[in-house]
């Protein structure tokens, strides 16, 4: 099973850059996108053989997540709390597979975690961002402790360690790399969640998933790794490969994902 996450920075813009062709050729079973910035999915991505659902925010052209899957989900949750639901930031899909006369579930949470910058780039949205992190954690933690196989994927808008961005010393006061944001990711990992890419590529610098659109940052690989697939212990045991497809263009982010047994 191949699961991919991608912040497309606008699904309509992404479609003009070949998103539909990429999706159909991706080899993925499940694709979660973030920052869809649309009220409905374009016709171009309503492809045969795919199930799809968009969760939009109330503000037009802002936020939003969407899920594409080759198989139907058995349940889908999109409500977390009113202050987050108005921005359309979360989908939690459960997929069931028949195994030995019973069923086995895989839970896939597709999240667009808030940016903490604020309108004045004064880090004023960090409390809101951390509250979202906490709410998602609380929603999933009991299931993780119960042994559920869970993937939490998406744009987390935080680089965890200095190795996860090109210029850590210049960004210690920038939202996405402040101590309190990094500490929240620490909390997830200390509670048993696994950063699948870092587990597969320990100590390897230069792997990023987002680049500024200014100053030729992508060509110079001056980026940040802020997109993740976190796995519960049960799901992590099934991960055979974790990857960043930084050669895929069409957004300021690139696709990331995992392959599971």
Tell me which residues are annotated as active site: 155
Residue 189, strand partner residues:
none
| Local structure of residue 165 (DSSP, 8 states) | B
Spatial distance between the Cα atoms of 256 and 11, rounded to a whole number of angstroms? 17
Spatial distance between the Cα atoms of 246 and 86, rounded to a whole number of angstroms? 31
The structure tokens listed for 190 are 């200390």
Spatial distance between the Cα atoms of 253 and 244, rounded to a whole number of angstroms? 10
Spatial distance between the Cα atoms of 185 and 167, rounded to a whole number of angstroms? 19
Spatial distance between the Cα atoms of 229 and 155, rounded to a whole number of angstroms? 9
Location of structure tokens 């935080």? 158
Q: What is the dihedral of CA 13, 17, 23, 25, to 10 degrees?
A: 180
CA distances from 179 to 43, 124, 159 (A): 42, 15, 10
SS3 209: coil
SS3 63: coil
SS3 6: strand
| Local structure of residue 253 (DSSP, 8 states) | B
The structure tokens listed for 255 are 């696709």
């Amino acid at each position: 099973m191949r699961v991919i996450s991608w912040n497309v920075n606008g699904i309509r813009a992404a479609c003009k850059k070949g998103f539909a062709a990429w999706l159909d050729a991706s080899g993925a079973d499940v694709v979660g996108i973030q920052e869809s910035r649309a009220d409905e999915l374009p016709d171009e991505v309503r492809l045969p053989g795919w199930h799809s659902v968009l969760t939009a925010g109330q503000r037009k052209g802002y936020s939003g997540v969407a899920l594409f899957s080759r198989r139907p989900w058995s349940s889908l949750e999109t409500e977390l709390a009113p202050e987050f639901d108005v921005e359309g930031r979360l989908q939690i899909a459960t997929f069931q597979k028949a195994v030995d006369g019973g069923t086995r579930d895989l839970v896939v949470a597709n999240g667009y975690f808030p940016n903490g910058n604020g309108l004045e780039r004064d880090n004023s949205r960090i409390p809101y961002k951390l509250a979202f992190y906490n709410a998602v954690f609380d929603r999933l933690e009991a299931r993780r402790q119960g042994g559920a196989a869970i993937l939490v994927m998406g744009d987390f808008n935080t680089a965890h360690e200095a190795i996860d961005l090109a210029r850590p010393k210049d960004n210690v006061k920038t939202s996405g790399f402040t101590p309190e944001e990094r500490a929240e990711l620490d909390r997830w990992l200390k509670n048993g969640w696994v950063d699948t890419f870092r587990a597969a590529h320990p100590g390897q610098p230069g792997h990023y998933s987002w680049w500024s659109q200014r100053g030729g940052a992508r060509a110079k690989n001056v980026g940040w790794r802020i997109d993740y697939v976190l796995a519960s212990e049960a799901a992590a045991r099934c991960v055979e490969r974790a990857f960043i497809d930084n050669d895929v263009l069409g957004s300021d982010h690139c696709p990331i994902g995992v392959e599971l047994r």
